[in-house]
Structure 1
Amino acid sequence: MNGSALPRLALTAGEPAGVGPELLVRLAATSLAANFVAITDRSLLERAAARCGTTITLIDDDGADTATRAAGSLRVRHIPLAAPEVPGTPDPSNAQHVLATLSEAARGCAEGRYAAVVTAPLQKSSINEAGIPFSGHTEFFAAQSHADVVMMLASPELRVALATTHLPLHAVSAAIDAFSLERTLRIVHAELRAKFGFSEPRIAVLGLNPHAGENGHIGHEEIDTIIPVLEKLRGQGMQLLGPLPADTAFVPAQRKRYDAVLAMYHDQALPVLKSEAFDRTVNLTLGLPFIRTSVDHGTALDLAGSGKADPSSLIAAANLALDLVARSRKVIQP
């Protein structure tokens, strides 16, 4: 890719019966300076554009670079559906189609054909109902890349990484051991430096229990696992705060002290982030050998087919991907 070429961003549409295809065509209608390549069924995009009342020009992707992109134009890497979508009603027969789009995106990034991948939401249950074990984008890309990864959600004001992701609450404590917690913190620290440009990242680590365990009176995970790991990594030069009680970690006075938060489980911190910046929050996967960003919401089956789904989070995801690509290009330039 030459220096004047627009970054080639792979876009996956996620669940065909959800809002993802409509979000893709609305993203393509913007003037963002990217060479968008939608990895999905061409006719799915045509139907989505018609539902949105959006004029779109679909171009078969030939892998070529381009220095410009007209608003409303979208390159397509065609991967056919098994059955036409019915908005709002996922069809498990299309599960293999969804996984094939993700595989192509990961493979294309590994081969240098795409600078990053931006994903629309998918329906995990539909894939599972097809008899395929699947727990989410993050885990899928980790397996494809043989990488240890961390899920992070980021808005312009706040970055939250997760020690555990899609687990039932009763399984969280057992999943947080010293080895996994140390590995997670090392990934977050390294990626805050590499992707976000923090030379000495400051990471706030939340406790698992109310009041961060209150010296063992409300649980022992902090004393037994979290504190020893933090002390070890502090001894190696990491700037780590905590473990902090989750109920006060996000007040303005605390936020000034850190660049990112590590939460112990999915719903411990994400409600704070989404309540204040839902349309500006981006899901990204740390630790992959390529850049992957995504929306911070689900398939919105109740809105699918209406043409009214808000593309703000997908646009934010594309913008962040472009920012990260630009930063990576500056790093590798002589």
Structure 2
Amino acid sequence: MTTKTIAVTMGDPAGIGPEIIVKALSAGELNGAPAVVVGCLETLKRVMAQGKIPQVKLKEITSVAQAHFTPGTINVLDEPLADPAGLTPGKVQAQAGDLAYRCVRRAAELALAGEVQAIATAPLNKEALHSAGHLYPGHTELLAQLTDSKDYAMVLYTDRLKVIHVTTHIALRKFLDTLNQPRVETVIGMADTFLRRVGYTHPRIAVAGVNPHAGENGLFGDEEINIVGPAIKAMKARGIDAYGPCPPDTVFLQCYEGQYDMVVAMYHDQGHIPLKLLGFYDGVNITAGLPFIRTSADHGTAFDIAWTGKAKSESMAISIQLAMQLA
């Protein structure tokens, strides 16, 4: 276990975030771990009062310096809801979206100030976020703006499969119109930097094609010839061990079986579908390119089971553990 301190953001309080945070921080080696929760204290109390999750002590603190980490206690930096009693579990609400935003903003401020060394985020709901006037596609773009980060990318991480994305929350038609060589080169470079940061001394990076069979030499499209291929060649010239363009229908399995260390996916679903199929419960979402480590549970708010005690906390726990390791 590390002595670094991690901030854990509540995410959407009407979702499973409060539940999986309590479960994760009250079990195994994370029980008493150096993590402070940034979220609504009253909501955590309400969720625990349901009696369906572990009963722990919630200690309110006003600064990270006040935190003391002991088993059975969770330190909370209170970020109150506008109307805690009016929060309805499992419903999209503006106040919940606003809280999710404020929790991320506060955690980012703590990380930039050096008070915490990494952030682990519980899932937020994009509709609730937008209804509160915070018009971001998700955590990645929000954190990029809060930290003034220009080059960033989403990484999905499991022990056996790691994926980094050229684009994420963008319409498929727009992706095809805006795909360009500099961005592909940047993401290949971030993949190499990220893997070295987590312990790979000679990363092997596979770059997926855009089209079926990676274009089949131009038969099914020319993006591989005009954009992806030249980007790979340019990064090879800089000493990066990059391969491709690789057929998207096989490259993720090849990485899973150990032929590569990471796959560069071109768009959201190309990378998310294989990762979530192979690692839905233990996958972690990481934002590469930020000035601090940020990990996240790789699933949504699960409004249908919010506050019922049914939510699995493995991904949240792994995201916190990984944040500590990387910090």
TM-score band by shorter chain is over 0.9
Cα shift at 1:95: 2.7
- CA 1:302–1:163 in structure 2 vs 1: closer, same or farther (change >3 Å)? same
Q: How is 1:89-128 mapped onto 2 (pairs within 5 angstroms)?
A: 89-128=91-130
Q: How many residue pairs align between the two structures?
A: 320
Task: Give structure 1 stretches of 5+ with no counterpart.
Answer: 326-334
Contact 1:150/1:188 (<8 A) preserved = no
> Could you report, residue by residue, the CA deviation over 1:66-122 in whole angstroms, capped at 9, with x for unpaired residues?
78521x311111111012321111211333222111111111011111121110000
For 1:24, the equivalent position in structure 2 comes to 21
Cα shift at 1:269: 2.6
1:150 counterpart (139, 148, 153): 153
For 1:69, the equivalent position in structure 2 comes to 70
For 2:11, the equivalent position in structure 1 comes to 14
Q: Which moved more, 1:278-287 or 1:48-57?
A: 48-57
Question: Separation in 1 of the partners of 2:219 and 2:201?
Answer: 37
For 2:79, the equivalent position in structure 1 comes to 79
Q: Are residue 191 (structure 1) and residue 189 (structure 2) matched?
A: no
Task: Give structure 2 stretches of 5+ with no counterpart.
Answer: none
For 2:222, the equivalent position in structure 1 comes to 220
> For 1:250, what is the secondary structure of its paired residue?
helix
Question: Separation in 2 of the partners of 1:183 and 1:260?
Answer: 15
| Length-normalised TM-score, structure 2 | 0.93
1:297 counterpart (296, 299, 311): 299
For 1:287, the equivalent position in structure 2 comes to 289
Q: How is 1:195-206 mapped onto 2 (pairs within 5 angstroms)?
A: 196-206=198-208
One-letter identity of the residue aligned with 2:179 = I
Question: Separation in 2 of the partners of 1:265 and 1:79?
Answer: 34
One-letter identity of the residue aligned with 2:187 = T
- CA 1:205–1:53 in structure 2 vs 1: closer, same or farther (change >3 Å)? closer
> Could you report, residue by residue, the CA deviation over 1:22-75 in whole angstroms, capped at 9, with x for unpaired residues?
1111112124162121111111111122233421111122423778521x3111
Q: Are residue 47 (structure 1) and residue 50 (structure 2) matched?
A: no
2:165 counterpart (159, 162, 181): 162
Question: Separation in 2 of the partners of 1:17 and 1:208?
Answer: 37
Contact 1:15/1:123 (<8 A) preserved = yes
Contact 2:25/2:33 (<8 A) preserved = no
Question: Separation in 1 of the partners of 2:123 and 2:17?
Answer: 6
Q: Are residue 176 (structure 1) and residue 179 (structure 2) matched?
A: yes
Question: Separation in 1 of the partners of 2:127 and 2:275?
Answer: 25
Contact 2:206/2:263 (<8 A) preserved = yes
Cα shift at 1:252: 4.4
For 1:36, the equivalent position in structure 2 comes to 35
> For 1:302, what is the secondary structure of its paired residue?
helix
- CA 1:53–1:254 in structure 2 vs 1: closer, same or farther (change >3 Å)? closer
Question: Separation in 2 of the partners of 1:107 and 1:249?
Answer: 38
Identity %: 37
Question: Separation in 2 of the partners of 1:94 and 1:17?
Answer: 7
| Length-normalised TM-score, structure 1 | 0.91
